[in-house]
Amino acid sequence: MLILGLHKTTLLDYPGHVAATLFTGGCNFRCPYCHNKDIVQTTESLVPLSETELFSFLEKRRDVLTGVCITGGEPTLHFDLPDLIRQIKALGYLVKLDTNGTNSNMLKFLIHAHLIDYCAMDIKNTPEKYNITVGALSNSSFLDLSTVSTSIQFLIQQSIIPYEFRTTIVQEFHTEADLRAICKWIAGAQAYFLQSYQDSEGVLQKGLHAHSAETLQSYVTLCRQYIPNTTLRGI
């Protein structure tokens, strides 16, 4: 498993838990607004964390932490992810997975095997605008969204673990009409979070902008017509 980062303590990444967050290297998307550029591109300047180092840390922190958030990059690209999670859970930790939903088979396996306790799935945009939002060069670039749709429907229909969908809202990519279309796509969702875009040095593409707080709140109001449990994050 390629682990390219570890936040030793977070109160934000795993709702209701004091957790550590580990970052797996590599991603099948290149979202322009992603702020984990080096992790997504597996930049050579990053020194991987060995599993020995990871589990030594987790063993020592068992009295402080209750959960581990696994994010990326895209964790489900790694075939050995289940083995890593088994070792984490053997220490008594709850596990949250962040995913883009493109590996629906892995997601189903992890949930049915009771290897994850919470899932946060990113919904990048409407199906029609997914290509440009995840870094394709043009709308004509082909992206098969069938696995993403499968993951959406699986999470909505299963009752094994709590989950959330979330969308990072960027002025250049998201409009009111887009939010309405997304909500229709994920109708029936347990929870939906709108996240305000945050600029940083690590972002893949410079020059992007957040919507105003007023606009974001209007999007929340709109989304609640379809998904009552819609919340704004990052403001």
The structural domains of the chain, with segments of one domain joined by +, span 3-170
Angle at 96 between CA 94 and CA 97, to 5 degrees: 145
Q: Residue 139: is its pLDDT beyond 50?
A: no
Is residue 98 helix, strand or coil? strand
pLDDT at 37: 84
pLDDT at 43: 63
pLDDT at 136: 63
Q: Residue 44: is its pLDDT beyond 80?
A: no
Per-residue HEC secondary structure of 122-180 comes to ECCCCHHHHHHHCCCCCCCCCCCCHHHHHHHHHHHHCCCCCEEEEEEECCCCCCHHHHH
The average confidence (pLDDT) of the chain is 93
pLDDT at 1: 86
Q: Which helix (H) or strand (E) holds 84?
A: helix 81-90
235 confidence band (pLDDT: 50, 70, 90): confident
Torsion of CA 187, 193, 198, 203, to 10 degrees: -60
Which of 217, 221, 197, 218 has the alpha carbon at shortest distance from 209?
Answer: 197
pLDDT at 126: 97
pLDDT at 183: 98
Task: Work out the average pLDDT over 180-198.
Answer: 97
Task: Work out the average pLDDT over 78-98.
Answer: 98
The owner of tokens 């960027």 is 170
Residues 6+ apart with CB under 8 A from 105: none
Is residue 204 helix, strand or coil? coil
Percent of the chain with pLDDT over 90: 83
Q: Residue 214: is its pLDDT beyond 90?
A: yes
Q: Residue 109: is its pLDDT beyond 90?
A: yes
Peptide bond just before 16 cis, omega within 30 deg? no
Determine contact, residues 130/167, Cβ cutoff 8 Å.
Answer: no
Instruction: Note the CATH number of domain 3-170.
Output: 3.20.20.70
Task: Work out the average pLDDT over 135-158.
Answer: 82
Task: Work out the average pLDDT over 101-126.
Answer: 98
Percent of the chain with pLDDT over 70: 95
Between residues 100 and 200, the one the model is more confident about: 100
102 confidence band (pLDDT: 50, 70, 90): very high
